[in-house]
Amino acid sequence: MTLRDTPEGTHVRLTGLRLSDDVTFRLREMGLRPGAVARVVLHTAFGGRVVAVAGSRYAIDAQTAALIDVDPIGSLDARADAGTSGDRPARTSAVVAR
């Protein structure tokens, strides 16, 4: 399953990044690395996703989200594990583009 296929509100564990080295490096800097737990906060226009990970939220375009492999995981407390404070999206911390 990819991040682009993941429904809103789902907690996932990142399993792989099939992107160029420079984009993979940037995503890892932001905490989006294999093994990280994230929550899909919002589906954006044109297929993008807003994800919460390690206390931050990031907007990821549809093409990039389609190349991030994830496994859905059981229900978690969003505030403790994905760094969120509710179901409403907050200001996005960064935008990843290819």
Average pLDDT over residues 25-47: 95
Instruction: Identify which of 38, 62, 41 has the alpha carbon closest to the alpha carbon of residue 50.
Output: 41
Residues 40-65 pLDDT 10s: 999 998 999 999 999 999 999 999 99
Q: What is the mean pLDDT of the chain?
A: 85
Quick one: pLDDT at residue 84?
A: 46
Q: What is the pTM of this model?
A: 0.75
Half-sphere exposure of 95 (CA within 13 A, CB side): 6
At residue 22, the pLDDT reads: 97
Q: Domain count for the chain, please give it.
A: 1
Where residue 83 sits, what CATH number does that domain have? 2.30.30.90
The CA–CA distances, whole Å, from 9 to 18, 29, 75, 78 equal: 23, 23, 10, 9
CB contact at 8 A, 58 and 24:
no
- The residue type of 82 is A
Q: Which domain holds residue 62?
A: 3-96
> Residue 81 has what pLDDT?
45
**Given a cut of 50, is residue 86 above it in pLDDT?**
no
Residue with tokens 């080295």: 21
